[in-house]
Structure 1
């Protein structure tokens, strides 16, 4: 050290020059060797290539890979740089031989460059091949060797070497010329690619085949001579044919590639896609597309989510249609009319709030809400129907009545908690049509919501009956992301587990499409909670199903919004749904969340909690919140004669001869439609003629008190004031059912007042009480 210090003091100028040279040498190598744009590449969860988007400069240049396939590594070293692992970045012997040969010929015939020097030359593209440039490359090559390992230098070469045409790098070349991963190439194929960068513009597959074949075979002969391959491998390799033309790159998930490219352009991205599921689903979509396009239905999208990890397993953004029918549009995240697909969320919300039980009877009669007149798909009415059947049969009128009773704003709160992004406006904007397709949503959000509900139920049963704070989270298609479900809590996140389970029990009973009607009779049949939806005008067909492990969502329609006859959820989307469910493994049915349920007595006829006079009672498990529901209102105690033919009372029959019996009684309009579907329904017997029934309940209109013309004025804002209907009843606590022009408009209790805004013109107003008494008024509305 002292000698060095003395030398520096005596030779300051030389020391400064030497120091400057060392600093220059240290910083001569660019921090980033290659700045070329790269293709966007996506792979499956198992690292299988799903697709690639060409680089912005028009080159098939995949992002740099840190590893080089062993066969290609052996081939390229044998062909280009046999002493690669021994030299410091340049080979003096090769340089001397090249210099002598070039001087003898008077031109540049041989380069003598090592692989390290070639990496430098590739990074300094466009530089003339002069001796001065060679000196620069030599210096930079030694610096490269000091900074990077030999394996990293090989990776640079393999990633950025030209392979003919617009193909750059071993990864892109192996797919373009052999249609598979570089790791899967044979010795002959690896040798073919190894000789291409030596003269990429002169020889590449499909051009100068004889010259390419000779180069490949000479390399294979060299590999045989240095014992890299045996004689059998050599004979088999030279017998292999050369590739004739480039293959198109895989397009297994083109719409997911578009989505990834928006945020990860030019990167290699490993996704969560299951390549087997993806390809099988592609085939299913292609098969159904060929059928549906005959009815001018051109677009399909399918999504499969893993419930437990919330990973996207399959992403089919569109059918294999043509450009005219917008084949490149990814419909999975596009807003479309929801049809009936939101009904399970309403059912779960009503159960969660404890407003009804699964089999509680709901009215299904002609009903109008001002100008809004909902109808069932089959144009028929059941009078009353159990709530779970209303859901499984997707009846519209009971759903609208359920929404009206539950409250539009309350349900809207649940939808916002589900994070349905396309429900953008306030609740009043949608009105009661919200439950029948008045709002829009997309396949991504809907599948996410079903997955969140299924996961809530799974977590509740798997933990100590606890919920997770971040249960309602976004799915991911990036393998690098792991979903954090948050902290455990005894407080529900949105719906309680029992309400979700009971909702799924109803959805499990949905009638399957044609050809699957007897599915429930097969022990090994998949149990799926699923729902379809059809938008107004037959523009959108939905089908979404869930098991314990998977959610499958299907949308079918036309991207331009054109409706088509037959574009119905159960006919168009459901067959695809069940074909896709045949692809994924079978799951067990959800476990019953008993900790959120209680066993209670239920009236078999009405589905309400059993009263003391309900004749048929069964024990059912219900959600805890349902304990507050009222007892059965449809059974009343009546008094009959000995033969049970007529109603009697003490005015016409001795008390010891009166039979007391519980009777299932529906309001008249409900009973009218109910009898058409239930022939065993018995109306109340009439009173015997000799009985005094003056004590029976009665009612009359307070307003309007007679047939009249009613003028409805407007307020200062120009809004029409409502007509207030009023009735007096001898038993005010009695329920009264209101109808306008035979359409049900509501119920009143205690205070019998009803506000309506009828259309201009004549109307018939009817009121029926719980005892079957009926009064009518004819009125004319003037605006």
Structure 2
């Protein structure tokens, strides 16, 4: 034992030196060899290149790729390092030959470096080519061989070798010089790229092309000699030309690339994009842009989602316009005025809460709430219209009246549950205009919301009538991401399945764009629930549609917010929507969620639950909460004479001669407009003159509206125009007396209209009929 101790003591310095050298050797190689910035690269779900964003240092350097195509691998080994899989990182024979040749020539004529040494040299960029540096490379190469596999080292080389100009790495070179993936290169193309790192300047056109061609063909000849390729392949390969100029990299989804680079900069990202679909949508947008730009409408965006997995299938953030018209702006996530695109959510919320049935008649009459005076797009009124038709026709007045009835705060709460991130203010900030475009949202959030509703229906049908807790989740553009819909539950997430289904049934009946002459045929082949929207001032046009499998969202307008005549959802956005659905596979319609529905008797004319007075009844399936709605208020039982000409009662007719009949009666203001669109609407018959106990009378103003401020313009002669007063009377044959500020102005009968010329200031209009029934309205006349 003492002898060993003396030996260690005698040579401890030597042993310590060895240990220190081994430690230094172990740590001499950096953990990360290459720290250069890389390009952001996105591919489709099938690994097709969609686009790339150049690295920060201006180099086309793709992220590291461990996969090396066999053809390139064969070529690079036969050209650079045939003993690669046999040496420990350096080749003594090659080094000796290089040293001999260099000493003879007095300069560097031959390198003798292995591929492993070249990887080290590439990682130590900027170092002088000297024998000392060569020794360092040799040591580091052996260390790299101990740490990494041969294939990994080869992958380092192919990902970082220079290929001329600002092209670095095999993947970038393959696309820049041959416009295809490295796995798809021919033998000639693979050989060309194999010889390039040895002399990258040869890629440029001109006299260098001949040298490059000779180097490539010598390598191909070597492959033939080694029986790697046969003579036919060799003969075909040597007649292939060389690349003449770099190709631009594909830019199939440039705005998605822009979005990906924000969160995955410098990474290789496999997206969920369906490349053929993306290219078709690009073509559709370009074709429509060419037409729209003639009307100075320059921007549009399209988003296509897969309902079942919530993957983004196509992402077109803008048109192929120019920088002047902000072609680089990604519209999909930008807030824009919503127009009518939020109306279906109000309809669904009212169904869900039991405030409405699908076809309940709602008022469509001139309406004013304070200073807010909503109007329909066509400036006309239907008097009364089924709620489903009000939605499909996108009527503004019924929507605002429904919102006022439902409650602004309640509706705002539902919208917040949809996670619309641009809905930043309380309900009072938006007011009743919230349902007509008073708020802002973006195409991403809106498509996400419709996809969540469609998915809710799908899941309800696919499970035992259950919902998922996390239905309203964010879509994803990452192919690897699997959406977690959460746990199953019997409780609805937001809207019950029946309310969503009935909403979609109403949206399915929307008329197609006028330009689509065969939309009836299209309707039968592809059933789509869809909605358009147009913002105030014709600044934003929307169209969003959904089937069981897909959601397509379209926005059209100008990125700078400039409005244009004709920038209307149904005219500009809807044609794009249906062109996109044309290239998508057909989908079955949603299954009816019977477990959330109840079959009840519905009054055909009013859409309410049938009352005993309803004469025409239909059996329909409604949402469960619809049972809370009141029975039909518009059918009354009246008593007629035997000829059914007059109303009578026991004061003027024998009971045995009285006929009892159900009659559809609307309030006078609704009836006034309703009968202009419904010629078969019959007002109540008059009471026979000898009868007493006349039924109740109702009077309502058609014009002016409540608390209205009116400006009376002057005509060409300088005379102030008159103000035309109008009322609706449930018994038009009555005589009505008109007063302005208690001053009698005249009387009317049958047609209740009166022209007056009031002075500037506040006035009260009073109307009184011959039975003493009256109505009042305050107005203000301004200069």
Same fold (TM over 0.5): yes
Report the 3-state secondary structure (helix = DSSP H, G, I; strand = E; otherwise coil) of the residue aligned with 2:542. Answer: strand
Query: Is this contact kept in 2: 1:196–1:204, CA < 8 A?
Result: no
Corresponding position of 2:594: 594
1:507 aligns with 2:493: no
1:761 aligns with 2:759: no
Partner Cα distance (1:14, 1:777) in 2: 114
Corresponding position of 1:736: none
Report the 3-state secondary structure (helix = DSSP H, G, I; strand = E; otherwise coil) of the residue aligned with 1:301. Answer: strand
Aligned pairs (5 A) from 1:438-587 = 438-516=438-516, 518-521=518-521, 525-587=525-587
Partner Cα distance (1:52, 1:67) in 2: 19
Q: List per-residue Cα deviations over 1:396-429 (Å, max 9, x = no partner).
A: 0000000000000000000000011111111111
Partner Cα distance (1:448, 1:782) in 2: 48
Corresponding position of 2:159: 159
Aligned pairs (5 A) from 1:97-496 = 97-204=97-204, 208-496=208-496
Partner Cα distance (1:177, 1:675) in 2: 73
Partner Cα distance (2:461, 2:410) in 1: 27
1:83 aligns with 2:57: no
Partner Cα distance (2:599, 2:308) in 1: 29
Partner Cα distance (2:461, 2:2) in 1: 77
Corresponding position of 2:675: 675
Partner Cα distance (1:562, 1:699) in 2: 47
User: Cα distance, 1:13 vs. partner?
Assistant: 1.8
Report the 3-state secondary structure (helix = DSSP H, G, I; strand = E; otherwise coil) of the residue aligned with 2:525. Answer: coil
Report the 3-state secondary structure (helix = DSSP H, G, I; strand = E; otherwise coil) of the residue aligned with 2:71. Answer: helix
1:34 aligns with 2:50: no
Partner Cα distance (1:780, 1:316) in 2: 51
Report the 3-state secondary structure (helix = DSSP H, G, I; strand = E; otherwise coil) of the residue aligned with 1:552. Answer: strand
The 3 A distance-change label for structure 1 pair 546 and 760 is farther
Corresponding position of 2:775: 776
The 3 A distance-change label for structure 1 pair 5 and 260 is farther
The 3 A distance-change label for structure 1 pair 673 and 524 is closer
The 3 A distance-change label for structure 1 pair 699 and 110 is closer
Report the 3-state secondary structure (helix = DSSP H, G, I; strand = E; otherwise coil) of the residue aligned with 1:536. Answer: coil
Report the 3-state secondary structure (helix = DSSP H, G, I; strand = E; otherwise coil) of the residue aligned with 1:251. Answer: coil
Query: Is this contact kept in 2: 1:511–1:517, CA < 8 A?
Result: no
User: Cα distance, 1:11 vs. partner?
Assistant: 2.2
Which blocks of at least 5 consecutive residues in structure 1 are unaligned?
A: 702-707, 711-739, 742-758
The 3 A distance-change label for structure 1 pair 87 and 6 is farther
User: Cα distance, 1:6 vs. partner?
Assistant: 8.5
The 3 A distance-change label for structure 1 pair 375 and 32 is same
User: Cα distance, 1:251 vs. partner?
Assistant: 0.5
Query: Is this contact kept in 2: 1:540–1:556, CA < 8 A?
Result: yes
Report the 3-state secondary structure (helix = DSSP H, G, I; strand = E; otherwise coil) of the residue aligned with 1:56. Answer: coil
Please give the root-mean-square deviation of Cα atoms over the aligned residues, in Å: 2.3
The 3 A distance-change label for structure 1 pair 760 and 451 is farther
Corresponding position of 2:724: none
Query: Is this contact kept in 1: 2:351–2:358, CA < 8 A?
Result: yes
Partner Cα distance (2:286, 2:427) in 1: 39
Partner Cα distance (2:772, 2:636) in 1: 15
User: Cα distance, 1:46 vs. partner?
Assistant: 1.0
Partner Cα distance (2:609, 2:364) in 1: 21
Q: List per-residue Cα deviations over 1:572-608 (Å, max 9, x = no partner).
A: 0000000011121111000000000000000001000
Equivalent pairs, count: 726
The 3 A distance-change label for structure 1 pair 765 and 268 is farther
Report the 3-state secondary structure (helix = DSSP H, G, I; strand = E; otherwise coil) of the residue aligned with 2:196. Answer: helix
The 3 A distance-change label for structure 1 pair 314 and 214 is same
Query: Is this contact kept in 2: 1:51–1:251, CA < 8 A?
Result: yes
**The 10-residue stretch of structure 1 (248-257 or 475-484) with the greater mean CA deviation from structure 2:** 475-484
User: Cα distance, 1:200 vs. partner?
Assistant: 1.1
User: Cα distance, 1:227 vs. partner?
Assistant: 1.0
Which blocks of at least 5 consecutive residues in structure 2 are unaligned?
A: 701-706, 710-739, 742-759
Report the 3-state secondary structure (helix = DSSP H, G, I; strand = E; otherwise coil) of the residue aligned with 2:162. Answer: coil
Partner Cα distance (2:384, 2:2) in 1: 105
User: Cα distance, 1:777 vs. partner?
Assistant: 3.0
The 3 A distance-change label for structure 1 pair 180 and 767 is farther
Q: List per-residue Cα deviations over 1:601-649 (Å, max 9, x = no partner).
A: 0000100000111110000000000001010000000000001000000
User: Cα distance, 1:523 vs. partner?
Assistant: 7.8
Report the 3-state secondary structure (helix = DSSP H, G, I; strand = E; otherwise coil) of the residue aligned with 1:555. Answer: strand
The 3 A distance-change label for structure 1 pair 3 and 582 is farther
Q: List per-residue Cα deviations over 1:368-403 (Å, max 9, x = no partner).
A: 112111111111111100000000000000000000
Q: List per-residue Cα deviations over 1:28-59 (Å, max 9, x = no partner).
A: 11111011111111111111111111111110
User: Cα distance, 1:519 vs. partner?
Assistant: 3.1
Corresponding position of 1:697: 696
Query: Is this contact kept in 2: 1:80–1:114, CA < 8 A?
Result: yes
The 3 A distance-change label for structure 1 pair 5 and 537 is farther
